[in-house]
Amino acid sequence: MKKKSLTKSQNEKWLLRLYVAGQTPRAATAFNNLKVICEAQLKDNYNIEVIDILKNPQLARDHQIIAIPTLVRKLPLPVRNIIGDLSNVGRVLSGLDLEYYNESNSR
């Protein structure tokens, strides 16, 4: 069972959304941190969407965003939320379930 879902998530392309509010230094830090992590863990198997809620506040309401920056893992399911500038790599990895992903990949 577990293996099946894992293989599925392996093949699936990751969809990550990063919500920011304007071009702030913290937004830039978050984006860079995310980029580094994704490159290291997922190679090309991911997409990052950056949503600036300043430009589209209605999206913040629709997606229930309050903290900035917020990283949302839309795919694979289940949805995961990580808030902050993603400077703590360990937390990001555990938040995105990437530790497990890598373990199973390397096996």
CB atoms within 10 A of CB 28: 13
Q: Which two tokens stand for residue 79?
A: 């949805």
Q: Taking CB under 8 A as the rule, does residue 58 contact another protein?
A: yes
Q: Taking CB under 8 A as the rule, does residue 83 contact another protein?
A: yes
Q: Which two tokens stand for residue 58?
A: 């209605």
Q: Taking CB under 8 A as the rule, does residue 94 contact another protein?
A: yes
Do residues 34 and 82 make contact, with C-beta atoms less than 8 angstroms apart?
no
Q: Taking CB under 8 A as the rule, does residue 32 contact another protein?
A: no
- Strand pairing category for 70-75 and 14-20: antiparallel
Q: How far apart are CA 58 and CA 53, in angstroms?
A: 8
Residues touching another protein: how many (CB under 8 A)?
34
Out of 50, 80, 102, 104, point to the residue binding another protein (CB under 8 A): 80
Out of 30, 38, 42, 98, point to the residue binding another protein (CB under 8 A): 30
Where do contacts with another protein occur on this chain (CB under 8 A)?
19, 21, 26, 29-30, 33, 53-54, 57-58, 60-61, 64-70, 79-89, 91-92, 94-95
